[in-house]
Structure 1
Amino acid sequence: MSNYVLWLILAALIIAVLAAVAGNLLWRLRLQTQAEKAALQQAEQESLAEQIDAQQGIEVLARCYLGGQVGGSELALRIAVLAETARRDRNYLKDTAVFSEMAAALAHIPTHQAWKSLSAEQRAKYSTEMALLEGKYSEQIRAAAAAIVE
C-alpha cells in the first residue's frame, strides 16, 4: 500500500508542476495578446491620423489650385500621392481619380534634382508637354478640386 501512496504522491507532484507550467504559459499568452491588441489599436490610430492629414492636405492643395496658387501638373502629382494614403468613400476616390490619371501621364517627366539637371531645351519640351496635359485635363481637374473643397 505504501508503494501506491508513493506513486500517487509522485503523480500528484508531476500534475501540480505541469499545471503550474501551463498556468504560466497561459498568463504569458494573455499578456502577449493584450500587447498585440494595444499595438494594433495604436497602429490603427496612427493610420487614421495619416489618412486625415492626407485628406486635409488634398483639400488645401485643391483650394490653392482653385485660387491659382498651384499649377495643374503639380496639383495632380501631389494629390495622386496623398490619395493613396487618404482612403475614403467611393465618391472621394472618383474625385481624386483624375489626379492619379494625370500623374500617370506625367510620370516620365523628371522632377526635383533631375529637372534641374536638364538642358533648357529639354525643360521647354517637358513644359510644353505638361501644358498640353493641363489643357486636356483642366475641366476635370477644376471640377474635382471644387468637389473636394465642398
Structure 2
Amino acid sequence: MQTHYWLIAAGILIILALATYAWTLWRKVWQQDEARAKALEARNDRLSGDIRIIAQSLLDGQVPTIEGAIRIKVLLDNYQGERREGLDVTVFDLIYEQTAHIPTHQAWKDLSRAERKLHLRLMDTLERDHRPAVEAAARALSKGVN
C-alpha cells in the first residue's frame, strides 16, 4: 500500500509541475500578444502622423499632387488602425493604379525623353482631372485618419 501512496504523490507532483509550466508558457504568450498589440498601436500612430504630414504638405504645395497621392495610398495600405466614418480615399487608389506602370528612380532616368514626356502628360491629365478630389481627401486626412 505504501508504494501506491508514493505513486499517487509522485503523480500529483508531476501534474502540479506540468500545470505550473503550462501557466508560465501561457503568461509568455499573453505578454507577447500584449507587446505585439502595443507595437501595432505605435506603428499605426506613426503612420497616422505621416499621413497627416503628407496630406498637409500636398495641400501646401510642398509635394506634387501625384507623388503625394501615391505616398498617402501606400501609407494607408500599411495603416491597420480605425478610420473615421465617411473618409473617402478612393481617389488615391485610382491614381496609384493609373500610375503603377510608370518607372521610378533609375528606371525613370533611363527612359527616353519621349517616353518621359508621355508619362508626364498622363500625370498632368490625372492631376487636372482629380485634383479637387485629391485635395478634398487630403484635407480630410490632414485632420487625422481616425
User: How is 1:11-50 mapped onto 2 (pairs within 5 angstroms)?
Assistant: 11-50=4-43
> Which structure is higher in RCO with an 8 Å CA cutoff and minimum separation 6?
2
CA offset at residue 90 of structure 1? 4.5
Whether 1:123 aligns to 2:123 is no
Q: Residue 89 of structure 1 aligns with which residue?
A: 83
Query: Per residue, is there more helix in 1 or in 2?
Result: 1
What TM-score comes out, normalization by structure 1 length? 0.87
Gaps of 5+ in 2: none
CA offset at residue 101 of structure 1? 2.2
Q: Residue 4 of structure 1 aligns with which residue?
A: none
Whether 1:139 aligns to 2:123 is no
Spell out, residue by residue over 1:30-54, the C-alpha distance to the aligned partner (whole angstroms, 9 max, x if none): 1111111111111111101111111
CA distance in 2, matches of 1:67, 1:124: 26
Q: How many residues align?
A: 142
Greater alpha carbon shift after TM alignment, 96-105 vs 32-41? 96-105
Matching residue within 64, 67, 70 for 1:71: 64
Gaps of 5+ in 1: 1-7
Identity %: 28
CA distance in 1, matches of 2:118, 2:24: 62
Contact 1:95 1:148 in 2 (8 A): no
Q: Residue 2 of structure 2 aligns with which residue?
A: 9
CA distance in 2, matches of 1:147, 1:70: 17
Letter in 1 for 2:83: D
RMSD of the TM alignment (CA)? 1.5
What TM-score comes out, normalization by structure 2 length? 0.89
CA distance in 2, matches of 1:124, 1:37: 56
Structure 1 outlier segments of 4+, above 3 Å:
none
Contact 1:79 1:96 in 2 (8 A): no
